[in-house]
Structure 1
Amino acid sequence: METISFGTDGWRATLEEFTTPRVRMVGQAVATYLSDEGLEAPVAVGYDARETSRGFAEELTRVLCANGFDVLLSERDRPTPLVAHAIVDRDLAGALVVTASHNPPEYNGVKFIPGDGAPALPPVMDAVADRLAEPELLPASEHGSAREVDFVDSHAEAAMDVVERMTGTPIDVSDLTVAYDAMHGSGRDTTDALLERAGASVERLRCERDPDFGGTGPEPAPENLEELIELVTAASDGDADGSTVDLGIANDGDADRLAVVTPERGYLDENLFFAALYDFLLESADGPAVRTVSTTYLIDRIADAHDESVHEVPVGFKWVAQAMADHDALVGGEESGGFTVRGHVREKDGVLLALLAAAMHDAEPLDDRVDRLLETHGTVVQDKTSVGCPDERKEQVLADLEAEIPDAVAGTPVEDVNTADGFKLLLEDGSWLLVRPSGTEPVLRVYAEATDEDRVAELLAAGRELLEPLL
């Protein structure tokens, strides 16, 4: 039990620690929790494209059935947001998803999603952790049943409906050619199929299942999307061979996040995509935005221009989801590429957002929209780095940092300190520096935002210098 540690988004570990007996203990903990809550509805079980994921999903299914629950097991690896949507769509008690998201192939993980389809909050995960135990099997006559289910169609219909309701018009992106990179993950045959359903022509990259993800982690970062970037930017660089790709989209391993590639910018910074998304949605709807403490203040400037508000929360989509419910927010997101919108399940959804990205680009090229926003609200540049720090040292390092907060950073006075998640130093020139602990890796994250790349690099260097004596 000591080896099973629930972090920001469930339990992840290397396969040396992520073993069948421990996975079965997680299944038992969830079954006990649901029973103690008086829930009797079926439970969904999903999984990603890793070599071991289907087997672990079947083990979870056996444990849940042996505790009296009927189980809807995904017929193949599918995106996590499809499973989350199925909970609400089918009025289920909750779901378990076997996935390590963007982590390398030597990892796996499992996450529990409660009955509202939103990420589990700490009290729920603490209650599950308190119930970790060897499986307790009911008599065979009391076992539930399991059946395989396809979660794709109902989610696709919901995604189309959400976009059409938000824009006020039927979605038709038949003028677009979209290059889609599944990174060998679970978005294949799902995100690309949804784009085609909306009328787009789709060129596919890495849309074959590879449990090793080509030897790397399925993280849609610029350095992992070189082929997609080259394909999309070729026309603007004058290298097109007669075919033109209008937009590029990639998902991470379980397709709850996305990356967007545009002809002019190449990889579109997630902060800028969030700003464009909010601006687009405000053309036909109203409402506040929710962003994490590490996400750009450009969102706030757009909100101010529309007499809207922004709610800042700690990093972790569970906090975004909670704030969206509390404030009836129009959109919620984080700088790592996770977003959802009002009227949809409150879980980040890289499949839905791929469709929204296409609709946005069809209405106005994303490069043009971003150019307009930056011209109107000012240039914003953000970057981040990591500093190695063992998990057991993070709390002490942050406590030491509290006593070492400087009066100025990189020559600019500190105007205020935000402690919502780590320490965010707000500087007099409008730039900021954030130091916070990672919830998934043994590192401290350092973020900075300013008006140009050189200034951001200067702030990040100052952040590292601030931390190094404390490690």
Structure 2
Amino acid sequence: MESDDPSEAIEFGTDGWRAAGEEFTMSRVRAIGVAVAAFLDAADRSGPVAVGYDGRENSREAAEQLAAAVTASGRDVTLSERDCPTPVLAWTVRTGSYVGGLMVTASHNPPEYNGVKYILGDGTPARPNVTDELERRLTGRAPPQDAAGETSEATFTDAYADHAQSFVDADLDGLRIGYDAMHGSGRGVTDELLERAGADLTRFRCERDPTFGGGPPEPVAERAEELTTLVDEGAVSLGLINDGDADRLGVITPERGFVDPNVLLTVLYEYLLDHETEAGDVVRTVSTSSLVDRVARKAGQSVHETAVGFKWVAEAMVEHDALAGGEESGGYGIGSHLPNKDGVLLALVLSAAHAERPIDDRIDALLERHGTIVQDRRSLDCPDERKAAVIDSLEGTVPDRVADRAVAEIQTVDGFKIRLDDDSWVLIRPSGTEPKLRVYAEADSQRRVEELLDAGETLLRPHLD
């Protein structure tokens, strides 16, 4: 049964509020719209709000409810005419007169989920200092206004596409690319950009299907089998796949199949160092590979490590005027374009990189220069209510040597990370979605990674008993 108090039912997590089935209700959606308007009023920020939505069954209805709630609070709204990618809305907010944006999406979650993201006026995801304020204002009741605001509609994708084409010097003439929208909001946007740049495009799942074919619209290897087969058979030289709201990107190549997102971030950063007018730092999450660190060090640039969640990557990108940012789940951003993850523009950028020099060749050269890095993880059961205490209890328990290497540094940006003197590391952090703790490890071989995972598990287990 739906709670009378939306503050009891709505909690903003890593990337907005998400809920499944009957937990996602229109009254709760309206409460978020009212809270956003009240937050902006309290901060004395005048201006309209942009509202977008993905292709899920009830996303358009939810977007209309958000618009109605915000306009009832006396503020104007521009509503997207069609479902659109989250990065399109974020870029629209950043470059327009908007003081914020609301996006109805559950991103890569299964079709029974939906949610709402709040985007700040600079195009970055809202951080806890903002979402905590929104949660405190979840009354669901708009204060009386002298006059309501107005809702207008616009096609956000047109201006974005023109910008993307001018931002990326991409000559894809004759390049055979396979593109999979996973029935999401990248359809008619990412594929059109690639074709405008000259690509010979083969499309997969580029029709709207609110069920996403019955599975989660997540750009991972097991959800990209048909596209991978097309690349394997030589019908196309590159495969690209977006998630449901097109803020993430997966890449498939002939030699490597589905490319490790950790490696892809490094390829992207190295490409940008060669092509941007000015060099810059790179931002990555604590669980993302340190391969990109080696490229940054050679270029004389710094690496900024953040907690997991692109909101933290985006914040650091702005703070350090970074060239690029990324995370191991396939979210990448380019600072001079948008300090947020964008699977649409990145499809065009990486296609341009591939046209200049195949991505497989780039990776071969990258690993030859900087060495091979292997990463893996394990999961251990841990009740949600004990996670924080277990992580805290690790402090002071780490020996001087772990898996026969000296401990160089212990970091607590997000979880508990032990960096060793050979640049390998072990990370213990709580899962954000399951009652588990994750043990990550990175080294130069799978054998060494297994040793580090064993060491991390040995260190952790006494604290779980």
TM tier, shorter chain? over 0.9
Q: Which residue of 2 aligns with 1:211?
A: 210
TM-score (norm 1): 0.92
Q: What is the correspondence of 1:111-122 to structure 2 with a 5 Å cutoff?
A: 111-122=117-128
CA RMSD of aligned residues (A): 1.8
Give the Cα–Cα distance (whole angstroms) in 2 for the partners of residues 138 and 395 of structure 1: 42
Give the Cα–Cα distance (whole angstroms) in 2 for the partners of residues 100 and 442 of structure 1: 21
| Preserved contact between residue 162 and residue 343 of structure 1 (Cα < 8 Å) | no
| Preserved contact between residue 63 and residue 135 of structure 1 (Cα < 8 Å) | no
Distance 1:417 1:225, change over 3 A: same
Q: What is the correspondence of 1:165-204 to structure 2 with a 5 Å cutoff?
A: 171-204=170-203
Q: What is the correspondence of 1:435-446 to structure 2 with a 5 Å cutoff?
A: 435-446=428-439
Q: Which residue of 1 aligns with 2:4?
A: none
| Preserved contact between residue 104 and residue 117 of structure 2 (Cα < 8 Å) | yes
Q: How many residues align?
A: 456
1:160 is displaced (CA, Å) by 2.0
| Preserved contact between residue 175 and residue 362 of structure 1 (Cα < 8 Å) | no
Give the Cα–Cα distance (whole angstroms) in 2 for the partners of residues 339 and 25 of structure 1: 31
Stretches of 4+ aligned residues off by more than 6 angstroms = none
Give the Cα–Cα distance (whole angstroms) in 1 for the partners of residues 395 and 348 of structure 2: 43
Q: Which residue of 2 aligns with 1:234?
A: 233
Q: Which residue of 1 aligns with 2:247?
A: 256
Q: Which residue of 2 aligns with 1:365?
A: 358
1:392 to 377, 380, 385: 385
Give the aligned residue type for 2:395. Answer: E
SS in 2 for 1:173: coil
Distance 1:227 1:408, change over 3 A: farther
Give the aligned residue type for 1:176. Answer: L
1:85 aligns with 2:70: no
1:352 aligns with 2:345: yes
Q: Which residue of 2 aligns with 1:18?
A: 24
1:272 aligns with 2:263: yes
| Preserved contact between residue 318 and residue 335 of structure 2 (Cα < 8 Å) | no
Q: Which residue of 2 aligns with 1:241?
A: none
Distance 1:409 1:420, change over 3 A: same
Distance 1:149 1:446, change over 3 A: farther
| Preserved contact between residue 246 and residue 262 of structure 1 (Cα < 8 Å) | yes
Q: Which residue of 2 aligns with 1:463?
A: 456
Q: What is the correspondence of 1:12-411 to structure 2 with a 5 Å cutoff?
A: 12-136=18-142, 138=144, 142-164=147-169, 171-235=170-234, 244-285=235-276, 286-411=279-404
Give the aligned residue type for 1:149. Answer: A
SS in 2 for 1:446: strand
1:356 is displaced (CA, Å) by 0.6
1:101 is displaced (CA, Å) by 0.9
1:360 is displaced (CA, Å) by 0.6
Give the Cα–Cα distance (whole angstroms) in 1 for the partners of residues 137 and 339 of structure 2: 26
Give the aligned residue type for 2:16. Answer: G
Instruction: Give unpaired runs (5+ residues) of structure 1.
Output: 165-170, 236-243
1:15 is displaced (CA, Å) by 2.3
| Preserved contact between residue 388 and residue 443 of structure 1 (Cα < 8 Å) | yes
Instruction: Give unpaired runs (5+ residues) of structure 2.
Output: 1-6
Give the aligned residue type for 2:158. Answer: D
| Preserved contact between residue 78 and residue 187 of structure 1 (Cα < 8 Å) | yes
Distance 1:437 1:373, change over 3 A: same
SS in 2 for 1:16: helix
Give the Cα–Cα distance (whole angstroms) in 2 for the partners of residues 466 and 213 of structure 1: 41
| Preserved contact between residue 48 and residue 78 of structure 1 (Cα < 8 Å) | yes
SS in 2 for 1:189: coil
Give the aligned residue type for 2:175. Answer: L
SS in 2 for 1:296: coil
Indicate the percent of aligned positions where both proteins have the same amino acid: 56
1:387 is displaced (CA, Å) by 3.6
1:321 is displaced (CA, Å) by 1.5
1:2 is displaced (CA, Å) by 2.0
Give the aligned residue type for 1:55. Answer: E
